[in-house]
Amino acid sequence: MADPADRLTIEQQLGQTFVAGFWGTTPSADILDLIRRRHVGSVILFSRNLRSAAQTLELTSALQDAARAAGHPAPLLIMTDQENGLVRRLGPDATRFPGNMALGAAGSERLARDVAAATGRELAALGVNMNLAPVVDVNNNPDNPVIGVRSFGEDPRLVASLGAAAVEGYAAAGVVATLKHFPGHGATTTDSHLALPVIPATPDRLGRLELVPFVRGIAAGAACVLIAHVALPALTPSGDDPLPASLSPAVVHGLLRERLGFGGVAVTDCLEMDAVSAGVGVARGAVLALQAGNDLVMVSHRIDRQTPALDAMLAAARSGEIPAGRLREAAGRVLRLKRHLAWDRLPDARGLEVVGSAEHRRLAAEAYAASATLIRDRDGLLPLRLDPAARLLVIRVPSRAITQAADDPFASDTLLDAVCRYHPGAEAALLSPGTSPAEAEDAVRRASEADAVLLVTVDVSRDPERRALAQRIAAAAPRVVGIAAGVPYDAAAVPAGAYLAAYEYTPPALEATLAVVFGRATAPGRLPVTLA
């Protein structure tokens, strides 16, 4: 059978290997030029692009119209990071589903599969045919600044089983699933958005831990794997200047292709992240990424980086620095991935009824209820029963180091409103990451004067100053019920008498947890990580 890339020019082949993002809720002049003139065949969307279901479908349809009019051999891959939980790109019309660690606490393959299938149905209805999910990193480092609750947990077998179930769910919805972040980002202490993390893992350790979910996900049919910007000196020795896995032939070709036998599409994480842009640079990184064995090179944000990257790739292809066979192989893999797409089967407005449907909302409520986790209740505080006149103070203490991957804001009003449904007249001290010393002192004083405190923490275990503040509040109040609305490691850092894990600060997660606090529901979830 002829390679589908054989009929394309070098420029067209390169376009099929490139993923570009843009700014705005309608196609920008820059993205249209990349699609029409540079033959770019894949587009990534972020929350900045997506406002409503109708607008999203109009946007994706316009992008596909531009590609079709430009003579593309197949529809665009249109992708996003709809991981659910705290990392979600779709607008308010879409169903809010729990993120990975909440699903890890529920521990149900069926729920993981059903949530992925429902997410996939909503994406497909909106014209998004590829999801950069599921995250299958094993979060075995409590200090990890970028993965945390995006992981199913610390047990590679649990991560593998739920990740494989998610792959199956996306496949059932006709959406391409992407295993990430290969070969594993869970043990890092550095955010690759900001610098290059180094993982001192041996090949044996990788095989026993990090690679387990990738092996299972590939066996389940994952068609795409996203390569992380992490350095593995044991696999890519390069002196004092370690090479990111995303640019390393030893990782992409040697580990992923040869050792794991993966024949699908390998895509880089965004080359604009500082792990690459502050090192070899975006343009040079694009050339190295294609040389290393990646099939899709992602530059998500800036046209002043996208154009030089494409220029550098074209120059390298013409000079032979990127061998003709390597370019043809990459473009061919992408086009084979697009075989299930067709110009006459693109979605239209008739399919939008699935977005935010009652069936999906019921599934989300079931999954959130199954994830609610009671970590401890050593003082017998739960269920919290207060005299109607009792002073209940809700205090939020967030970390100043929440990952850049999360773009879902904390719904402060929703939290207080939810508490007031159980205890009318509850008061709040909703501190921000930039809380002043005076505000912090006022929160401690108010905690000491309250009859009970609901202390909602967000990743304070990784922020010494905010951790100390939460500890002072817990020591000052007579009765304290803690809710970890991020990583559950907060419960080990803050000595509240009772602590629950919500795993995220989304309204449905907090509402499911509050139902346990006030005795309206049980807490069936089990911690998917170990607390020190």
From 269, 295, 463, 490, active-site residue: 269
**Phi and psi of 131, rounded to 5°?**
-115, 135
Which region holds residue 221: left if phi is over 0, alpha if psi is between -120 and 50, else beta? Answer: left
281: exposed, middle or buried (C-beta count within 10 Å: 0-12, 13-18, 19+)? middle
Which region holds residue 380: left if phi is over 0, alpha if psi is between -120 and 50, else beta? Answer: left
SS3 268: strand
CA 210, CA 305: separation in Å to the nearest integer? 32
Q: Which residues contact 379 (CB under 8 A, 6 or more apart)?
A: 479, 497, 498
Question: Is 269 among the residues known to form the active site?
Answer: yes
Q: Which residues contact 157 (CB under 8 A, 6 or more apart)?
A: 212
Run of H or E residues at 299: strand 297-299
Q: Which residues contact 61 (CB under 8 A, 6 or more apart)?
A: 127, 346, 347, 348
From 33, 193, 408, 442, active-site residue: 193
**Phi and psi of 278, rounded to 5°?**
-85, 0
- Closest Cα partner for 93 from 44, 133, 55? 55
Which spans in 209-320 are helix H? Answer: 212-219, 249, 274-277, 282-292, 303-319
Question: Is 348 among the residues known to form the active site?
Answer: no
Identify the residue whose tokens are 């620095």.
Answer: 321
* Whether the bond into 437 is cis, omega within 30 of 0: no
- Closest Cα partner for 454 from 424, 490, 427? 427
Catalytic (active-site) positions? 193, 269
